[in-house]
Chains A and B, each alone.
Chain A
Amino acid sequence: MSFRDRLKETRAKASDGFRGGKLMSSIFRPGSPFRKGYVDSPRNRSYVVMNNVLYHLHPVKVKRHGVRLSYTLCLGGLSFFLFIVLTITGIWLMFYFRPTELAYVDIQNLQTTIAFGSLVRNMHRWGAHLMVLVVFLHMSRVFYHGAYKAPREFNWVIGVILLLLTLLLSFTGYLLPWDQLAIWAVTVGGNMAGYVPVVGAQVKFGLFAGLEATTATLLRFYVLHVLFFPFIIVIFMAVHFWRVRKDGGISGPL
């Protein structure tokens, strides 16, 4: 036996000993590829999905036509993924941002002095635009497939609410850099809300925390952006994903 073979064997033994040990067995549930003795079998393929808290969003089996990339273009999944990316980059940005008169300076510092600050800020901004676009495309895909029809009517309603929440998240985030672009875009948007009949002035006052966009508005939008709307949207997303499965998985085939 050559040295190389012996090395290989020793490595395999050590790996088996570790993967079959108590620690790994306690972390990974049966059927996990990280456990010792994983083989590609229908049983283990089911276990991979069933025994993982992240994967069991999916059912064990899905319709064959739904797996084709051309059917969904992964748009729903990508919307969710972009939300996760935005959450991660957003939390990172929160370390360097104060929603006060200092907001603009903080953004400047972020771009010039903080490592990867510019990249993360760009990812957060372009990712947000991309998410609006992807959510809208997802809705269009669903419409063209007639996937909102029975029994999925209510999930369409939740989907429209999710689109609205995405727009609100993006809009509240638009103000945070506290530059001329931000304040005037939000002023235009907030003035639109002022045209609501009867309660228009009140809505506008509530949105701006005053008669026009000030640092009070900044704080208000900040709290809505980092806490309130994410909280609401996660609840609606949970119902949305749950209903997808309860309504029989993906729609179609056409």
Chain B
Amino acid sequence: MVDIPEHLLQRSAEARAKALGISVEQAMAEMKGQSDPTIISKEPEVKVIDETLAPAAETPAPAAETVTPVKEEHAAETTEKVAAVKIEEKAPAAKTPPPAKADAPDEVDFAPDVKVTQRLLTVVKAKPIQKPVKEPIDKVNTWPHLMLPEFVALMAMTAFLIFLSAILQAPLLEEANPNVTPNPAKAPWYFLGLQEMLSYWDPQIAGVMIPTVVGLILWMAFPYIDRNPETHPSKRKFAIMFYTFFLAGAGTLTIIGVLFRGPGWNWVYPWIDGIWFDDLLDWIHFE
């Protein structure tokens, strides 16, 4: 048996009380089977409803008559089962059986015996069939809230690049000559960390193993290794520490390779021995 929620019971009790002209408590008690059902039909009551719902209909009397037996029938049934609550709301009156019926017997009545009733068969609880899983996200329009700052950033970058290119000349040394080896011969700056490592370890390790295994395979596989779903820095301290150490290490090696290595890959101090990195040639002239 369906457990009828209290607010629905209350609502039907109110409707019943209004229709029968009894108190709500009384209606409720009847519906719960705690007292005898009221078998009253109040004509004026029906009239009022009739007028409000169908003001054009001026003949309420036959309507009231047709309603009355319905109510009696209901009342009799109500006593049988507690849960099978019947609500006669405004519907019987609202349907307003045509008063012309008695006057025009020739008219075909398609369902002469059907009494318009409404019953509360079951209660579907107020719960959606599909549960929305996603929380609504706070969003803004891309135009203009994202595209405007983006545009400003692009313009700023363009201005910066043009300014940089206007004041700093890209290096161009003598023509390439395979017979004259500069000392030191340095790779582009982003490989100088690797070149620095090459001076410590065997090239098989520093030049191949570390860049491919650590630099590529481990790096690509990182999301599959780090299974911690948290994104807040305080909940992934190891990952943050790991990356920061990597950053500091790579940065240090690169800076050493760029600035602190001179002829023969020996240690130099840039403020004493000068800068041995030709890509920075014009940066020095710029001083």
A residues engaging B (CB < 8 A)?
A: 42, 45-46, 48-49, 55, 58-67, 69, 74, 77-78, 81-82, 85, 104, 107-108, 111, 118-119, 121-123, 125-127, 129-130, 132, 140, 143-150, 152-153, 156-157, 160-161, 164, 167, 170-171, 174, 177-185, 187-189, 192, 195-197, 200, 212-214, 251-252, 254
Contact = CB atoms under 8 A, between A and B. Distances in A.
Interface stretch (B30-38, B135-143, B267-275): B135-143
28 contacts: A42-B141, A49-B142, A59-B142, A60-B141, A66-B146, A78-B157, A81-B154, A85-B161, A111-B172, A119-B165, A119-B166, A122-B166, A122-B168, A126-B170, A144-B233, A144-B243, A152-B223, A153-B224, A157-B220, A171-B188, A178-B175, A179-B172, A185-B185, A185-B186, A188-B185, A189-B188, A197-B208, A213-B176
Minimum-distance CB pairs A-B, first 9: A122-B165, A146-B231, A153-B223, A183-B176, A184-B185, A61-B139, A74-B153, A125-B170, A195-B203
Nearest to B150: A77
Interface in B177-224: 177-178, 180-182, 185-191, 194-195, 198, 203-204, 207-208, 216, 219-220, 222-224
B133 to A, nearest CB: 13
Given A62-B146, A74-B153, A179 B175 contact: yes
A213 B186 CA distance: 15
B47 to A, nearest CB: 51
Given A81-B154, A127-B161, A182 B186 contact: no
Contacts of A55: 142-143, 147
Contact of B142 (A62, A85, A152): A62
Interface string B114-150: 0000000000000000000000011111111111011
B51 interface: no
Contacts of A251: 231
Interface string B27-60: 0000000000000000000000000000000000
Interface string B213-244: 00010011011101011111100100110010
B162 interface: yes
Contacts of A132: 190
B240 A144 contact: yes
> Which interface residue of B171, B216, B220 has the most chain A CB atoms within 10 A?
B220
Contacts of A122: 164-166, 168-170
B142 A160 contact: no
Given A111-B172, A183-B176, A195-B203, A167 B190 contact: yes
Given A62-B142, A188-B195, A192-B191, A180 B231 contact: no
Interface residues of B, number: 70
A118 to B, nearest CB: 7
A181 B171 contact: yes
A74 B146 CA distance: 10
Nearest to B145: A67
Contacts of A161: 220
B149 A67 contact: yes
Contacts of B145: 62, 67
A69 B154 CA distance: 13
